[in-house]
């Protein structure tokens, strides 16, 4: 492949390894970035996507080193240059937008001044031109360009505005290549949508070759021209966006797509068993073979080469062409029937919640039926987690009535009966924080049983094994501490602990948001199974509308502490009545 | 601990030179202090020659003609026992105060910590000296109590800080939502997670304890005026520093090495803790 | 030879540096050797003495010296009627003679002819009467006048002529001469003014800074031979090391109270120790009126437990004389014929068994305030007593506690005493009502014997009475007197004339006899 000088760049045979070992972080990375095109680099945690992204700047994180490869940019190999030669190229010609671009802004300097300083640093234009450039840059990202805005400090901007200022600053030196490392992480869907669209437009209008690094397939589906999927340090499939989402060739890509919920239809999500192996723990042969449903003996032995599947489309799999085609509709299931009889177990009426003197939830009513999943959806600050904490007994400053199985619930766990505490279990968002790192899995899961007199000693341990099986964990983890488990495994332990109390209602607070999509898929599948087999009701708090479609029967849409719309999922998502719901659906990144 | 456990611990220590050095020094001094009386060539109060001469074993004699080396060997036990007990006491009291304050929160936290600040305003050794001057003959438990209590407010500060970071974690909330008793939440959920920073604090407190106990001995408040006590030895022999320096130097050197050891150990643990939980 | 006056700070600084260097490298610099005994004295020069202690309360008062520097200044300015010689025997001073009548109730003082005060006036009977009146002033009795005041009837005493006085006593007192020989009963002129203190001593006042130094010049008309040196400085030293360094650096020519462990060291560095016998003692004090010491066998046992030689060797660094549980060793009546008590553990055990105190357990209170040899001997006693199965718990009390409210009521403690003769010592320590009767000793026979001796004019019969009294104390007393300290001072080898003296340190502070050695 040849590249026109001054247009894009080509990364060839990149290998980054841990310093002083032959353990690779990424290997055999070949990718071409073309002007005016956005390439999405997708991978789960541990796949090496960030390492591959920063290698474009000739940079490897501490403890790793670029061992091999070339990056041809404007006819020169950047990776072969000395540090002094690379410096003027970095930031100027090849720019980088990090995960939290707001952190790169100096909090003590006004926005306008910061942008002007950036141009000064690169020696661009005269003083007037720089100011004009700053205004133009802000206009391009959809921000005001007046003096009042230029005089603001970073803390006087919203999260989305900060992100856009950072984007403007990345584009102002007119880079030829731009690497974006999940710059929209932590933003609400609405803001994220705007930032993404702005970025894509700028790339096209300035003919920038962009690499967008992300874990979120749905984001990529919206903005990328081409998509590269990384797994265990390799790009296992690369192709044009439409092809990648309609005819994925690699089993991993297919499994990943099967794990993604869709906004437009309810799907039975499936996860990928196991987790992505980190550097040093990757199997030989095809690195995906131990989790692959199409695995054959030769996959274990031979390292697959790139196989050309179609125009601009390659996949690293020896069985391409043998495993049939993939259909997005394979996992479709029917939405919950709105006319089904509901046996109400939890009623929330006129719930007002405050933190100190600030009221954050202003009169919310909804209910949950037996064996039903009800989703609470909203952007950050909408009060969805606050409501769930009130119901879970973790927050006591509220008024209104919460009735559980006919009886009014007390405020806070200590005001409730043992029976109530047992029947309502709360699962936290972050499994890295919700499990005591000093206790073993067996101790953690057995504790509710001891506390509620369900079982103790030998019997409790047997039950723990059962519960771990139910959440797809083997008895080998019994005596381990949580630091030996992956995030997904930890969340399963947290679920097992909740199940140990034999609850009737699970309050799940964004329990999949800290997890990779493939893990999220399997957790969702697990919850669905528990609901069916044990008849457990769930209050499912999430910001992900697509996930709601796959898991919930009913949905409550929250905005700024008020319920704007509620009803059966199929009705709310297919024919939203409230403007806010429509906006939310419109901004949600979606695969198809 | 299994053999493999020992091996892996040794390996881990090898990667922590500070901790390893500190631990080795501390252990060596502690062992000397414990078995020293049996290794001593002469008795603790045995007269071996003229005062302040180089008679006796290699470090010469002290102000009474007792053997300096034998007294150094014999004098570690009391300082070790006293400072370890005082540290333990200070840690327990301080942790209880700190954790209760952190877990209770609100006005109780405020009240406890303000009182604690008042206690902190007193120089550590001052209160001890006040009490010791008032009594005829200080008993060992008194010194343990005084040094221990003087540590408590400092430990409480650290313990509260550490506990604050833990009581806000979800697993604590989770235990509360299950309806665990407050005592159990503190004992089973909060305390075990404070190990590393508190261990580092204990090492630091031990350093101060040694200094304080030696200081109290030096200022003449030793429990037994005749006993070999490192602090007291410095006082007894300081006048003849020019004639027979070992009477002063020997205890000064062991106290110095001991405190450097415990301090390195505390530093090492703190580093390990910072790395381990990060 | 004229020196500019060094400030005390300079002395300390310079002394520390050179002293430390000298100690570190003995023999590296040429050090003067001790002069030959026959070397003739040289007139002139400025002599400096380093005195131990002192502070802002330093005084030039003739009758209220407190600190060691005070005492050393007192000896330069003022002189009593009689004085103690180097053997602790009385010799005439301002008085030619002091003689009692037959029943010791009237004493005739004959004043030496032509003794001059520093301001030129000759000493007369009025001056002596004035001095005695001042020191015994009931409103402000001087430390040397306490005993005098109880016996002297100044109103009935008469001035016979300008050189003769007859002192009337209210009761017979055999050793009035001993009271008049104390340095605290110096003679001052009737026009005495403390802002410009005047006496008859070998040096006249020039300059005084409390806590730091004092300067004196030679009294040219001194009756006992004018001083060799022109000027005398006395510096205060709070710190032993600084004092010794100042001596070794040549900043002072003599120091008092050299720490005994330094005796050997300074000899290699151009200075000589001056060792004197004294009657100073550091006893253990047992209260004879409380258990278990009320049993005389316990007291005897504890006296037998002591290894006296070890006490002297270890606690005093060898600078001591054996004690025999009796005080006043220089008194002509001292019972030196009583057998020297030595350690006898078996006898001690047996006595304790008889007393029913086989496993005796007692507390011994000591304090660093007792001075050198105090805490040290207490520590040794603990070990020595252990051999006899006696457990001694040592309580090292703070100085303020030790000499606080409970002083004189400790059951078993220590104290320190300076040289005294027998009768004055008994009066302060061993009879009912004595100021410092720490052992609560109160024996009617003993008291009667001493009272009788006070009245007895015949020295031989008096000695016999006192001997009988000493036997009682030897058998039943509450003191364990294991030894007497030797006084250790030091002087530079560039000076001579200082001799051992039993009364006060540093040759009785008699710097008028000191002179520089001619440099060759």
User: How confident is the prediction along chain B (278 residues), in pLDDT tens digits per residue?
Assistant: 455 556 666 776 677 788 889 999 999 999 988 998 898 999 888 888 888 888 888 899 988 889 999 999 998 888 899 999 999 999 999 999 999 999 988 899 999 999 999 988 888 788 888 888 887 778 889 999 999 999 999 999 999 999 998 988 899 999 988 888 899 999 888 998 888 888 888 999 999 999 999 998 888 787 788 888 898 898 888 878 878 899 999 999 999 999 999 999 888 888 876 654 33
Query: In the predicted model, is pLDDT for residue C243 greater than 50?
Result: yes
Q: Does the beta carbon of A463 lie under 8 angstroms from any beta carbon of chain B? A: no
The pLDDT of C50-56, averaged and rounded, is 85
Query: How much is the pLDDT for C7?
Result: 43
Reported confidence tier of residue C10, pLDDT bands at 50, 70, 90: very low
Cβ <8 Å between B177 and A413:
yes
Q: Which chains touch A (3 or more CB pairs under 8 A)?
A: B
Q: Cα–Cα distance between A327 and A118 in angstroms, integer? A: 49
What is the rounded CA–CA span in Å between residue A578 and residue A378?
A: 13
Q: Of A485, A404, A411, A413, which is closest to residue A448 (Cα–Cα)?
A: A413
Q: CA–CA distance from B276 to each of A46, B268, C179 (Å)?
A: 20, 12, 83
Nearest CA in chain B to C239: B239
Cβ neighbourhood burial of A159 (10 Å; 0-12, 13-18, 19+): middle
Rg (CA), chain A: 26
pLDDT digits (tens, 9 = 90+) for C349-404: 999 999 999 899 999 999 887 878 888 999 999 999 999 999 999 888 877 788 88
**Nearest CA distance, B138 vs chain C (angstrom):** 9
> What is the pTM assigned to this prediction?
0.73
The whole-angstrom separation of Cα A180 and Cα A189 is 18
Q: Which of residues 119-178 of B touch A (CB under 8 A)?
A: 169-171, 173-178
Q: How many inter-chain contacts (A to B, CB under 8 Å) are there?
A: 51
| Nearest chain A Cα distance for residue B103, angstroms | 15
Which positions in chain A touch B170 (Cβ < 8 Å)?
428-430, 433-434
Q: What is the pLDDT of residues A291-335, one digit of tens each?
A: 888 888 888 888 888 888 888 899 998 888 888 888 877 777 777
CA-closest candidate to residue B158, choices B166, B147, B168: B166
Cβ-Cβ contacts under 8 Å, B169 against chain A: 433-434
Of C148, C128, C151, which Cα lies nearest the Cα of C136?
C148
CB contact under 8 A, B50 and C318: yes
Tell me if the bond preceding C292 is cis, omega within 30° of 0.
Answer: yes
Counting as contact any 3 or more CB pairs under 8 A, the partners of B are A, C
What is the overall mean pLDDT for chain C?
88
Which pLDDT value is given to residue B8?
A: 65
Q: Where is average pLDDT lowest: A265-274, A400-409, C317-326?
A: A265-274
Instruction: Flag if C380 and B47 touch (Cβ within 8 Å).
Output: yes
Is the pLDDT at C14 greater than 60, yes or no? Answer: no
- The answer to whether A and C touch (≥3 CB pairs < 8 Å) is no
pLDDT band at A5 (very low <50, low <70, confident <90, very high): very low
Q: Is the predicted pLDDT of residue C28 greater than 50, yes or no?
A: no
Mean pLDDT for A222-235 is 91
pLDDT band at A2 (very low <50, low <70, confident <90, very high): very low
| Nearest CB to B226 within list C20, C382, C397 | C382
Given a cut of 70, is residue C168 above it in pLDDT?
yes
pLDDT for res C3: 39
| Interface contact flag, B45 C261, Cβ < 8 Å | no
Burial of A359 (0-12, 13-18, 19+ CB in 10 A): middle
Torsion of CA B143, B144, B145, B150, to 10 degrees: 90
Residue A509 has pLDDT above 80, yes or no: yes
Of C241, C379, C401, the CB nearest to B225: C379
Q: A424: how many CB neighbours lie within 10 A of its CB?
A: 28
Q: What per-residue confidence (pLDDT) applies to B1? A: 43
Angle between helices B76-104 and B17-39 (to 10 degrees): 140
**Predicted confidence (pLDDT) at residue C258 exceeds the cutoff of 80:** yes
When CB atoms are compared, the residue of C261, C265, C395 closest to B137 is C395
Closest CA to A27 of A41, A36, A14: A14
- Computed over every residue of chain A, the mean pLDDT equals 86
CB contact under 8 A, B189 and A434: no
Query: Which tops the pLDDT comparison, A2 or C135?
Result: C135
Cα–Cα distance measured from residue B238 to residue C15, given in angstroms and rounded to the nearest whole number? 19
Task: Give B210 to chain C, closest Cα distance, Å.
Answer: 22
Chain A CB within 8 Å of residue B179 CB: yes
- In a 3-state reduction of DSSP, which class is residue C381? helix
Closest chain C CA to residue B224: C394
Alpha helices in C306-339 (DSSP H): 308-310
Greater pLDDT, B153 or A158: B153
Task: Say if A307 is an interface residue toward chain B (CB within 8 Å).
Answer: no
Q: CB pairs below 8 Å between B and C: how many?
A: 67
Residues of B with Cβ-Cβ distance to C248 under 8 angstroms: none
Q: Do C396 and B242 touch (CB under 8 A)?
A: no
Nearest to B83 by CA among B204, B190, B232: B204
This complex has an ipTM of: 0.76
Judged by phi (left if over 0) then psi (alpha if -120 to 50, else beta), residue B42 lies in beta
List the single residue in B136, B226, B240 with the smallest CB-CB distance to C261: B240
Tens of pLDDT, residues C394-413: 888 877 788 888 888 999 99
User: Residue A338: CA atoms inside 13 Å, Cβ hemisphere, count?
Assistant: 10
Residue of B nearest to A500 (CA): B178
**Residue among C343, C373, C368 nearest C486 (CA):** C373
Residues of B with CB below 8 A from C314's CB? Answer: 47, 50-51, 64-65
Q: What is the mean pLDDT of residues A350-361?
A: 89
Average pLDDT, integer, range C78-105: 93
Task: Indicate the pairing of strand C95-100 with strand C90-92.
Answer: unpaired
Task: Compute the 3-state secondary structure of chain B and give helix, strand, coil in percent, each to the nearest 5.
Answer: 75, 0, 20
CA distance A25 to A17: 5
What is the nearest CA distance from C315 to chain B, expressed in angstroms? 6
Query: What length is written for chain A?
Result: 592
Contact status of B196 with chain A (Cβ, < 8 Å)? no
Task: Return residues 427-456 of A near B (CB < 8 Å).
Answer: 428-430, 433-439, 447-448, 451
Residues A70-120 have pLDDT tens digits of 888 888 888 888 888 888 888 788 888 887 777 778 888 898 898 888 888
Neighbours of A294 (CB within 10 A): 16
Contact between chains at B193 and A437 (C-beta distance less than 8 A): yes
Q: CB A187: neighbour CB atoms within 10 A?
A: 20
What pLDDT, on a 0 to 100 scale, did the predictor assign at position B221? Answer: 80
Beta-carbon separation of B169 and A447 below 8 A: no
* Tally of CB atoms within 10 A around C32: 15
Asked if residue A564 has pLDDT above 80, the reply is yes
Q: Tell me which chain B residue has its CA closest to the CA of residue C404.
A: B136
Q: How far apart are CA B193 and CA B191, in angstroms?
A: 5
A472-497 pLDDT tens trace: 788 888 888 888 888 888 988 999 99
**pLDDT at residue number A187:** 74
Interface test with C, best of B49, B64, B229, B231 (most C CBs within 10 A): B64
Q: What is the pLDDT of residue C335?
A: 93
From chain C, pick out residues whose CB is under 8 angstroms from the CB of B65. Answer: 313-314
Please answer yes or no on whether B179 and A416 come within 8 Å at the CB atom.
yes
Tell me which residue of C58, C65, C328 sits closest to C184, measured CA to CA.
C65
Contact C379 B64 (CB under 8 A): yes
pLDDT in tens, A176-215: 899 988 887 767 777 788 888 888 888 888 889 999 998 8
SS3 at position C241: helix
Q: Nearest 10 degrees: CA dihedral of C336, C339, C341, C343?
A: 150
- For chain B, positions 189-228, list CB contacts with chain C under 8 A: 220, 222, 224-226
């Amino acid at each position: 492949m040849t590249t026109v000088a001054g247009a894009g760049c080509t990364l060839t045979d990149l290998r980054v390894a841990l310093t002083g070992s032959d353990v690779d972080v990424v290997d055999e990375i070949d990718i071409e970035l073309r002007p005016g095109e956005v390439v999405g680099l997708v991978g789960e945690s541990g796949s090496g996507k960030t390492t591959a992204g920063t290698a474009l700047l000739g940079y490897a994180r501490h403890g790793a080193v670029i061992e091999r490869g070339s990056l041809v940019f404007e006819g020169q190999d950047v990776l072969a240059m000395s540090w002094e030669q690379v410096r003027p190229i970095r930031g100027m010609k090849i720019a980088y937008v990090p995960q939290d671009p707001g952190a790169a802004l100096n909090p003590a300097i006004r926005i306008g001044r910061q942008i002007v300083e950036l141009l000064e640093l690169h020696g661009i234009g005269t003083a007037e031109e720089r100011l004009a450039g700053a205004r133009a840059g802000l206009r391009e990202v959809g921000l005001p360009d007046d003096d009042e805005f230029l005089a603001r400090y970073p803390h006087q901007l919203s999260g989305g505005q900060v992100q856009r200022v950072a984007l403007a600053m990345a584009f102002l030196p007119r880079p030829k290549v731009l690497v974006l490392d999940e710059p929209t992480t932590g933003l609400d869907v609405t803001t994220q949508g705007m930032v993404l669209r702005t970025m894509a437009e700028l790339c096209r209008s300035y003919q920038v070759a962009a690499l967008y690094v992300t874990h979120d397939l749905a984001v990529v589906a919206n903005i990328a021209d081409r998509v590269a999927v990384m797994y265990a340090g390799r790009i296992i499939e690369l192709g044009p966006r439409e092809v990648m989402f309609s005819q994925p060739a690699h089993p991993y890509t297919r499994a990943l797509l099967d794990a993604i919920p869709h906004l437009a239809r309810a799907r039975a999500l499936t996860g990928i068993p196991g987790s992505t192996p980190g550097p040093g723990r990757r199997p030989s042969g095809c690195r995906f073979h131990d989790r692959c449903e199409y695995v054959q003996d030769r996959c274990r032995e031979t390292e697959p080469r790139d196989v050309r599947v179609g125009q601009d489309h390659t996949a690293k799999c020896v069985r391409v062409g043998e495993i049939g085609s993939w259909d997005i509709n394979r996992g479709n299931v029917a939405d919950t029937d709105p006319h089904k009889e509901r046996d109400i177990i939890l009623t929330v009426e006129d719930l007002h919640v405050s933190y100190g003197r600030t009221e954050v939830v202003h009169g919310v009513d909804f209910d949950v039926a037996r064996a039903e999943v009800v989703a609470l959806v909203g952007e950050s600050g909408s009060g969805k987690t606050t409501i769930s904490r009130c119901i879970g007994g973790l927050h006591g400053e509220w008024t209104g009535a919460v009735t559980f199985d006919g009886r009014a619930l007390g405020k806070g766990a200590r005001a409730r009966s043992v029976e109530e505490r047992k029947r309502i279990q709360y699962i936290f968002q972050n499994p890295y924080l919700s499990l005591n790192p000093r206790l073993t899995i067996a101790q953690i899961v057995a504790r509710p049983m001891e506390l509620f007199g369900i079982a103790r000693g030998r019997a409790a341990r047997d039950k723990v094994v059962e519960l771990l099986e139910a959440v797809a964990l083997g008895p080998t983890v019994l005596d381990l501490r949580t630091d030996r488990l992956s995030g997904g495994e930890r969340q399963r332990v947290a679920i097992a602990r909740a199940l140990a109390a034999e609850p009737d209602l699970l309050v799940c607070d964004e329990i999949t948001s800290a997890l990779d999509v493939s893990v999220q898929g399997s957790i969702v599948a697990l919850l669905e199974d528990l609901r069916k087999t044990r008849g457990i009701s769930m209050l499912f708090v999430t910001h992900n509308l697509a996930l709601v479609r796959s898991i919930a029967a009913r949905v409550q849409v929250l905005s700024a502490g008020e319920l704007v719309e509620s009803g059966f999922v199929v009705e709310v998502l297919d024919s939203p009545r409230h403007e806010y719901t429509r906006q939310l659906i419109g901004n949600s990144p979606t695969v198809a | 601990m299994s053999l493999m456990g020992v091996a892996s611990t040794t390996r881990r220590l090898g990667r922590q030179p500070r901790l390893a050095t500190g631990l080795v020094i501390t252990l060596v001094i502690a062992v000397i202090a414990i078995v020293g009386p049996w290794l001593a060539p002469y008795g603790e109060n045995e007269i071996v020659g003229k005062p302040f001469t180089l008679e006796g074993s290699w470090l010469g004699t002290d102000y009474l003609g007792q053997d300096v080396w034998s007294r150094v060997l014999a004098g570690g036990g009391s300082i070790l026992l006293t400072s370890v007990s005082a540290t333990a006491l200070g840690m327990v009291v301080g942790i209880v105060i700190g954790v209760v304050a952190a877990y209770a929160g609100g006005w109780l936290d405020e009240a406890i910590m303000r009182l604690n600040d008042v206690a902190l305003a007193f120089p550590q050794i001052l209160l001890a000296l006040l009490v010791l001057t008032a009594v005829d003959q200080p008993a060992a438990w008194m010194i343990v109590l005084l040094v221990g209590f003087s540590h408590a407010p400092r430990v409480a500060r650290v313990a509260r800080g550490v506990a604050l970071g833990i009581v806000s974690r979800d697993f604590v909330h989770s235990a509360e939502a299950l309806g665990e008793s407050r005592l159990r939440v503190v004992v089973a959920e909060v305390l075990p997670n404070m190990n590393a920073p508190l261990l580092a604090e204990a090492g630091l407190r031990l350093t101060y304890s040694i200094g304080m106990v030696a200081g109290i001995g030096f200022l003449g408040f030793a429990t037994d005026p005749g006993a070999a006590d490192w602090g007291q030895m410095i006082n007894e022999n300081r006048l003849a520093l020019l004639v027979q320096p070992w009477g002063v130097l020997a205890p000064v050197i062991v106290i110095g090495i001991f405190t450097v050891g415990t301090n390195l150990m505390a530093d090492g643990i703190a580093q390990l803790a910072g790395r381990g939980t990060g | 030879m004229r020196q500019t006056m060094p400030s005390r700070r300079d002395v300390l600084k310079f002394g520390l540096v050179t002293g430390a260097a000298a100690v570190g490298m003995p023999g590296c610099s040429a050090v003067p050797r001790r002069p030959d005994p026959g070397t003739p004295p040289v007139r002139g020069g400025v002599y400096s003495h380093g005195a131990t202690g002192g502070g802002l309360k330093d005084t030039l008062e003739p009758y209220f010296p407190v600190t060691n520097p005070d005492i050393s200044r007192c000896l330069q300015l003022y002189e009593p009627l009689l004085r103690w010689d180097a053997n602790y025997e009385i010799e005439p001073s301002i008085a030619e003679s002091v003689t009692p009548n037959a029943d010791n109730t009237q004493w005739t003082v004959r004043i030496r002819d032509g003794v001059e005060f520093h301001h030129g006036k000759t000493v007369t009977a009025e001056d002596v009467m004035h001095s005695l009146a001042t020191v015994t002033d009931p409103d402000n009795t001087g430390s040397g006048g306490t005993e005098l005041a109880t016996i002297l009837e100044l109103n009935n005493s008469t001035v016979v002529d300008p050189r003769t006085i007859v002192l009337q006593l209210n009761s017979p007192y055999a050793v009035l001469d001993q009271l008049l020989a104390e340095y605290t009963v110096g003679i001052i002129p009737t026009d005495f003014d403390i802002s410009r203190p005047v006496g008859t001593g070998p040096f006249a006042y020039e300059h005084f800074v409390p806590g730091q130094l004092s300067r004196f010049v030679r009294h040219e008309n001194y009756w006992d031979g004018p001083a060799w040196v022109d000027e005398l400085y006395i510096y205060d030293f709070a710190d032993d090391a600084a004092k010794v360094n100042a001596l070794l650096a040549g900043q002072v020519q003599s120091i008092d109270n050299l720490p005994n462990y330094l005796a050997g060291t300074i000899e290699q560095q151009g200075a000589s120790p001056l060792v004197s016998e004294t009657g100073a003692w550091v006893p253990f004090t047992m209260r004879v009126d409380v258990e278990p010491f009320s049993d005389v066998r316990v007291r005897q046992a504890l006296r037998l437990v002591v290894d006296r030689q070890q006490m002297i060797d270890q606690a005093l660094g060898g600078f001591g004389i054996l004690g025999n549980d009796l005080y006043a060793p220089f008194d002509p009546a001292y019972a030196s014929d009583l057998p020297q008590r030595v350690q006898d553990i078996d006898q001690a055990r047996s006595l304790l068994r008889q007393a029913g105190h086989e496993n005796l357990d007692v507390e011994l209170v000591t304090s660093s305030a007792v001075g050198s040899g105090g805490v040290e001997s207490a520590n040794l006693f603990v070990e020595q007593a252990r051999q006899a199965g006696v457990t001694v718990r040592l309580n090292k009390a703070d100085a303020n506690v030790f000499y606080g409210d409970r002083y004189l009521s400790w059951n078993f403690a220590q104290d320190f005493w300076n040289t005294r003769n027998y009768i004055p010592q008994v009066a302060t320590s061993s009879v009912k009502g004595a100021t410092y009767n720490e052992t609560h000793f109160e024996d009617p026979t003993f008291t009667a014997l001493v009272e009788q001796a006070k009245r007895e004019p015949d020295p031989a019969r008096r000695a016999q009475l006192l001997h009988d009294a000493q036997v009682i104390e030897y058998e039943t007393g509450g003191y364990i007197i294991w030894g007497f300290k030797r006084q250790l001072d030091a002087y530079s080898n560039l000076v001579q004339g200082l001799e051992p003296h039993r009364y006060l340190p540093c040759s009785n502070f008699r710097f008028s006899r000191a002179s520089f050695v001619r440099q060759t």
